[in-house]
Chains A and B, each alone.
Chain A
């Protein structure tokens, strides 16, 4: 009894002397789903970082003779029952009556599956030339036999393209959100802090941007991107376009927080003490709502990803030969896929998982952001 009481007393003491950061962390930990989601998001970004290593087949390599190959099973045990992961080479035929492609594995042609084997050459982190991949086959030619998630119409390996798409889509999200953040904090802050005319103008701009339906806005802006630009420049242009619409939400949140904080006693104290505006903003205000901002960001990221897939659907945004989730979804958005090659729909899975993960993560952060509440 006394132990329990002293135990809870100890906890109370800990709570009383804990820093804000510790409180946030403890509060966050309680939300199990958010913790799991954080881990999942982390895993995805690791995949994005090592995308080329995890991919096994060169993602632009086309081959008519391996179009629409279904996902290939890995045989974990060999004929003698030993652990010996293998894949079999495939033989394909097009039926002259039904025009369907069918593939049959050839047990006489096994290929050993190896970890960290040789595959197609690439540059790790864009600098180090290498050809080691996470998964490969023993003769170094995975483009003939290793199709974990099957192939698309042009014979390109879906797994490898999916991994590379992850990198593109997740980084678009980051870049776009950073831009939205910068614009949102800047304009929302000015609006909230200075009020008056600045507030009025910015609020009107926000209202106009929110009133115009997004699709025409995107289409108009995307059409303005010059045709001669390289895919990379187009990519950045698209992120800028998406974030130009997205900053309004963040700006409203920031403005709201600024308005609320302006009345706080500690801000009044800082003003009376003679602190400069910059100091007030960055030393006193920003830390107070930083956690809110982080929560808002993690909720804005899924919106970015959805925007990118929508833009691709409309035929704007990233286009082949760029690879992103939106591009892959666009490839799968037709009847041939549903009727002949449903494995192409697997692209939707990482999209769903990431969006869910970010949402839960955001929820957890938002709960934890205000540990005193």
Chain B
């Protein structure tokens, strides 16, 4: 057991290191560097930067150094916990991400809660009342959520929210509250803004979960022990919830680790469309402007989350499912 744990940790560390290498490589693939991006964006904004100025910038940012040197320097930074300064934001990477990180997590966790909260009851209902009208209706609705491109949906909701309901557009705070210190009014403001992004984010996941829940539960309900329980006069509600539902939930344990990083990744585009102050738009922006340090750190962060998540999942599964544990011993 301990040996397994240690081995998994070791492998996880190797994976994380490999992620840093791959990340750095992908970020270097697009030609040019941050200064090019800066010049391009300045030009688009109606300013002019001469070649001499651009070269001076390059020198000041240390972008002339060889690639491997920049990589080693970055690695060194990470180990000491200083992720460097973002070129674009002009402030430490940690500050840029930190401001937005907790909102990102809040949104992700919220979407997961909404997803499960919607999917489980619907899945159970669908399984228990198989082939009923309700089953078909819910399945169809769920699937439409899966199939509609969510960035399009986001724009449509924003537009019609404004036209028909005068709903404030995008963001997680209204402008007045954004500057104000934390208060109940601000919390209320946040709560008011959260439903739309959370709903859109959870749509695809809900459909997935409904299907899996339904399929698993159907499998369980066909088993002999259910028939036995019914035959012995157990009330229907207990028949369903006591064992089958819990058994059907097993596979979720294996995916729970992935959920957080997956949702964070999946929310990037929605966050851009809805202009949410989360990590997503910053990631996209840093990729476009080739702000190496910021982009690498965010990608590393997501990668690490995933690896940890997988590890936790495996451990969780091992803990719940005795067969795996026993198998190991042998």
Size of the A side of the interface (Cβ < 8 Å), in residues, is 39
B299 pairs with A352, CB closer than 8 A? no
A329-354: CB near B (< 8 Å → 1, else 0) gives: 10011110011000001001001110
Top 3 closest pairs, chain A to chain B, by CB: A220-B26, A223-B30, A355-B147
A314 pairs with B26, CB closer than 8 A? no
Binding site for B on A (CB under 8 A): 204, 207-208, 210-217, 219-221, 223-224, 302, 306, 309-310, 313-314, 329, 332-335, 338-339, 345, 348, 351-353, 355-356, 359-360, 363
Taking the nearest CB of chain A, how far is it from the CB of B108, in angstroms? 13
Q: Is B303's CB within 8 Å of the partner chain A? A: yes
Taking the nearest CB of chain A, how far is it from the CB of B243, in angstroms? 20
Docked complex: B110-133 residues within 8 A CB-CB of A: none
Q: Is B310's CB within 8 Å of the partner chain A? A: yes
A221 pairs with B26, CB closer than 8 A? yes
User: Contacts A223-B29, A338-B155 given: A212-B149 contact, CB under 8 Å?
Assistant: no
Interface segment out of the listed B15-23, B59-67, B173-181: B15-23
Docked complex: B284-325 residues within 8 A CB-CB of A: 284, 287-288, 295, 299, 302-304, 306-307, 310
Neighbouring A residues of B78 by C-beta, 8 Å = none
B287 pairs with A215, CB closer than 8 A? yes
Q: Is B159's CB within 8 Å of the partner chain A? A: yes
| From A221, A309, A339, A360, contact of B149 by CB (8 A) | A309
A348 pairs with B148, CB closer than 8 A? yes
Given pairs A211-B303, A212-B303, 4 additional interface contacts (CB within 8 A)? A211-B15, A212-B302, A220-B29, A359-B143
A345 pairs with B152, CB closer than 8 A? yes
Report how far A353 CA is from B14 CA in the complex, Å.
Answer: 43
Taking the nearest CB of chain A, how far is it from the CB of B265, in angstroms? 4
B14 pairs with A215, CB closer than 8 A? no
A207 pairs with B159, CB closer than 8 A? no
Report how far A67 CA is from B315 CA in the complex, Å.
Answer: 59
Neighbouring B residues of A309 by C-beta, 8 Å = 149
| From B31, B148, B261, B283, contact of A215 by CB (8 A) | B283
Neighbouring A residues of B25 by C-beta, 8 Å = 220
Report how far A173 CA is from B281 CA in the complex, Å.
Answer: 28
A217 pairs with B265, CB closer than 8 A? no
Closest to A200 in B: B11
| From B31, B295, B310, contact of A207 by CB (8 A) | B310
> Chain B: interface residue count, which band?
35 or more
Q: Is B151's CB within 8 Å of the partner chain A? A: yes
| From B159, B287, B302, contact of A219 by CB (8 A) | B287
Q: Is B57's CB within 8 Å of the partner chain A? A: no
A213 pairs with B302, CB closer than 8 A? yes
Most chain B CB within 10 A, of A212, A302, A345, is at A212
User: Contacts A204-B15, A220-B29, A224-B30 given: A313-B299 contact, CB under 8 Å?
Assistant: no
Neighbouring A residues of B160 by C-beta, 8 Å = 338
Taking the nearest CB of chain B, how far is it from the CB of A285, in angstroms? 22
Closest to A353 in B: B147
Q: Is B96's CB within 8 Å of the partner chain A? A: no
Q: Is B253's CB within 8 Å of the partner chain A? A: no
Neighbouring A residues of B156 by C-beta, 8 Å = 338, 345
Which applies to chain B's interface (DSSP): helix, strand, loop or mixed?
helix
Neighbouring A residues of B31 by C-beta, 8 Å = 223
Binding site for A on B (CB under 8 A): 11, 14-15, 18-19, 22-23, 25-27, 29-31, 143-144, 146-149, 151-152, 155-156, 159-160, 211, 261, 264-265, 268-269, 283-284, 287-288, 295, 299, 302-304, 306-307, 310
Taking the nearest CB of chain B, how far is it from the CB of A20, in angstroms? 21
User: Contacts A217-B26, A306-B149 given: A314-B299 contact, CB under 8 Å?
Assistant: no
A211 pairs with B29, CB closer than 8 A? no
| From B29, B147, B264, B304, contact of A351 by CB (8 A) | B147
| From B15, B27, B152, contact of A216 by CB (8 A) | B27
Report how far A285 CA is from B23 CA in the complex, Å.
Answer: 37
Neighbouring B residues of A215 by C-beta, 8 Å = 265, 268-269, 283-284, 287
B152 pairs with A332, CB closer than 8 A? yes
Report how far A12 CA is from B135 CA in the complex, Å.
Answer: 30
Can you list 6 A-B contacts with CB-CB less than 8 angstroms, sorted by A residue number? A208-B303, A212-B22, A220-B25, A220-B27, A223-B29, A313-B269
B310 pairs with A313, CB closer than 8 A? no
Report how far A219 CA is from B147 CA in the complex, Å.
Answer: 23
Report how far A259 CA is from B216 CA in the complex, Å.
Answer: 22
Report how far A348 CA is from B299 CA in the complex, Å.
Answer: 31
User: Contacts A211-B303, A213-B302 given: A348-B149 contact, CB under 8 Å?
Assistant: yes
Neighbouring B residues of A335 by C-beta, 8 Å = 155, 159
Neighbouring A residues of B268 by C-beta, 8 Å = 213, 215
| From B11, B27, B148, B287, contact of A204 by CB (8 A) | B11
A302 pairs with B147, CB closer than 8 A? yes
